Amino acid sequence: MGIEKTKLKGGSLSSTYLIKEGDKKFIRKCVSLTKDREYGYVRWYSQLKKLQRLESDLPGLFPKVLNVSYDDDEAYFDLEYLSNHKNLFEILTDKKLSLNEVEKIHHAFVTGLRAIHKFSYRPNSGAPLLYFIEEVEQKIEDARKDDKFNSFYERGTYEFKGVITHGLNNYLDELKNYFSELKLESEEHIHGNPTLENTMYSFKDKSIVFIDPYEESIIDTKFLDYAMVLQSSRSHYELYNSATVSYREHTVMPYINIKRVPEPLEYFNQLFESTIKKEDKMLIDVLEATQFIRMLPFKCAAGHVSHAKYFYIHACHLLRNLFE
C-alpha cells in the first residue's frame, strides 16, 4: 500500500505532514532527535503530552493523538485529520465571508476558549516574575546569539509606523517591576497559543477544534490566551509572518508588503476585544507584547531573522504605547 506525504505549513523546528495511506488520512508531526533539542524536541514532546491531557478532559475541542513513534533520528506523533475544518486565519481573510458568519464563528471560538479556562487552580505567587525572566530576558539572550539579529538589536532606536521607537532595554526595568508586582487571582487550563492559525472551524458542524497547544507558559492564565488571540486578530501576526520583509537602511524601518486587513478579520477582532473587561486590558496588552518577544529565538533558529527583527520592533512599539 503506497503512502502519500504532503508537507504542511507551520512549525519553526518541527515538520508537519498530511499522510494518505490507502483511504486513511492523518496528520504527522515530526521533529529531530538531535538538532536544537531545547527548541525542537523538548517543545514537541511537551505539546504531545498537553494534547493528550486536553483531548481527554475536553473531547472534541482538540484532535486525538493516534500514534507516537520514531524513525531513524526523528520522533513523530500522528493526529486525526480534520477533513471538514479550515483554520480561522484562512476563513477570516476571505473577503466574501458575511459578518453574520463572523459572529457565529466568534461565538463558537469564545465558547471553546471558556470551556478550556473553566478548570482553575491556585496561582503561584512567584510565577509572574519567573515568566519575565524566562520569556523576556532569556528569550532575548537566546535570540542575540544570532549575529544578524544581535547587530539589529544593538542599534537601539528605530523608526516604526512613523514614530521613533526605542529598543527593549528602554523598557526592561518597567517590565520587571510590573511582573514583580503582578498578583493573579487564579491560574487556569489554557491553550497557550490559540492564534487564528491554531484554531480550526467547521461550517458544517459549526464547531471549533484547537491545534498546536503550548505547554511552557509558566503562568497559565486565561489572559495569556487572550493576548495570543490579539496577537493574531489585532497585531495580524499571520499576515506579517507570511509577508516578505525588507528594511530601508537609512531609516532602519521595516516595510512589509500587505494589503488592507480584510473586513471579516477586523470585525472578528472588534467582537473579541468587546469581551475584554477594562480592568484586564493592561495585563493582556503587556502579555501580547511579551509574546512577540518569546517567539524571537524560534524565528532565529529557523532562519527567519528578518521576521524576528520585525516582531522585535513591533513588541517595542507596543511597550512604548503602554509605558510612555
**Last residue of a domain, which of 80, 101, 123?**
80
Question: Going by C-beta distance under 8 Å and a sequence separation of 6 or more, which residues neighbour residue 17?
Answer: 5, 6, 7, 8, 27, 28, 29, 30
- C-alpha pair distances (Å), 80 with each of 31, 39, 74: 18, 25, 20
The pLDDT of residue 40 is above 90? no
Same domain flag for 96 and 116: yes
Question: pLDDT tens for residues 113-144?
Answer: 999 999 999 998 899 999 999 999 999 999 99
Same domain flag for 52 and 156: no
Determine the structural domain holding residue 137 and report its residue range: 86-323
Same domain flag for 226 and 300: yes
The confidence band for 43, taking pLDDT boundaries of 50, 70 and 90, is confident
Q: What is the CATH number of the domain that holds 62?
A: 3.30.200.20
Question: pLDDT tens for residues 145-180?
Answer: 999 999 999 999 888 888 889 999 999 999 999 999
Q: Above pLDDT 70, what percent of the chain? A: 95
Same domain flag for 56 and 90: no
The confidence band for 11, taking pLDDT boundaries of 50, 70 and 90, is low
The pLDDT of residue 76 is above 80? yes
Same domain flag for 245 and 294: yes
Same domain flag for 65 and 196: no
The pLDDT of residue 255 is above 90? no
Supply the pTM of this predicted model.
0.92
Same domain flag for 70 and 93: no
Same domain flag for 69 and 110: no
The confidence band for 1, taking pLDDT boundaries of 50, 70 and 90, is low
The confidence band for 12, taking pLDDT boundaries of 50, 70 and 90, is low
**Last residue of a domain, which of 22, 45, 80?**
80
Same domain flag for 62 and 174: no
Q: Are strands 3-8 and 245-248 parallel, antiparallel or unpaired?
A: unpaired
**Last residue of a domain, which of 57, 80, 103?**
80
Q: What is the pLDDT of residue 139?
A: 96
Q: What is the pLDDT of residue 313?
A: 93
Q: What is the CATH number of the domain that holds 164?
A: 3.90.1200.10
The pLDDT of residue 252 is above 60? no
Number of domains in the chain: 2
Same domain flag for 48 and 130: no
The pLDDT of residue 245 is above 90? no
- C-alpha pair distances (Å), 265 with each of 109, 195, 231, 268, 272: 14, 13, 12, 5, 11
Same domain flag for 295 and 190: yes
Same domain flag for 55 and 108: no
| Sign of the alpha-carbon torsion through 48, 51, 55, 61 | negative
